[in-house]
Structure 1
Amino acid sequence: MRNALKTALIMLSLLVAADAMAQVPSLARCTRSANLLACVDGDGNAYSVNTAGNTIYLRGFEMAGKRHWVQTNSRYGQLVFFTGIASDGEAWVGYNQRVGWTTINRFSSSGGSSAKFTCNRISGC
């Protein structure tokens, strides 16, 4: 699985689990407004998260692969569906479902990656 997809899924899991995102100075430098968070890490990777109602828009740049990617997440109660595409043509779809303190995650990509994993606030992923 490509780094951008991993980063997007981990970021989405954190957003879903915590319903908020905090700045971590040692990992990335972030700027935030009412509904936009934009970050750049020490390796030159960049991403932004924009919220509009029940929809979250992610956009990023992966320095190692020199590729841009976008992802849209739509929330319906405890269920979040997401779709994304990268500048090299890779596309992915998936969902996250929150059940109590547990988040069930499933995705597949046009690059052949697919997975189902569970995250918990106490034990992690």
Structure 2
Amino acid sequence: MKMTLSVAILGAVLASGAAYANCIGSSGFQTCTDQSGNTYSVNRLGNMTTVNGYNSQTGSSWSETANTLGNTTTINGTAANGQSWNETIQNFGNGNRSMSGVDSNGNSFSHYCTAYGCN
């Protein structure tokens, strides 16, 4: 679930005009601060986006790099506990997508989602 939270944070930070974080910088590099005082640096280069985060309450850091090729996004990260995780997302259109990978506890996961929810 920590990995899912990171993906959610990545999505929130990357969203244009995200309500969850105040970002400054250019389209290629931004520094963001959320309502809890956590900070993120977002670096975009072509199809690759790297996010480095810092939790102001715990002092922990995390990072993730997402690469997109066609309808497939591969994300590799290091959680705040120092453990690696990965996820591959395939988008099939109309809200249909599959997600699979290994979380920061070493547990494999696989989900298929439609516009109506995920299994």
TM range (shorter): 0.7 to 0.9
TM-score for both structures, normalised by structure 2 = 0.75
**Gaps spanning 5+ residues in structure 1: where?**
none
The alignment covers a number of residue pairs equal to 117
Question: Is 1:105 equivalent to 2:103 in the alignment?
Answer: no
CA contact (8 A) 2:78 2:104 kept: no
Task: Tell me the SS of whatever aligns to 2:4.
Answer: helix
**Two-structure CA RMSD over aligned residues (Å):** 2.7
| Residue identity in the other structure for 2:55 | E
Q: Percent of aligned positions with the same letter in both sequences?
A: 26
**Gaps spanning 5+ residues in structure 2: where?**
none
Pick 1 or 2: higher relative contact order, CA cutoff 8 A, min separation 6: 1
Check 1:87–1:14 CA distance in 2 against 1; reply closer, same or farther (3 A cut): closer
Runs of 4+ off more than 4 Å: 11-15, 122-125
In structure 1, the residue matched to 2:6 is 8
Question: Is 1:115 equivalent to 2:113 in the alignment?
Answer: no
Question: Is 1:23 equivalent to 2:23 in the alignment?
Answer: no
Task: Tell me the SS of whatever aligns to 1:8.
Answer: helix
Check 1:116–1:69 CA distance in 2 against 1; reply closer, same or farther (3 A cut): same
Distance in 2 (alpha carbons) for counterparts of 1:116 and 1:11: 20
Distance in 2 (alpha carbons) for counterparts of 1:68 and 1:29: 19
> 1:123, CA displacement in angstroms?
4.5
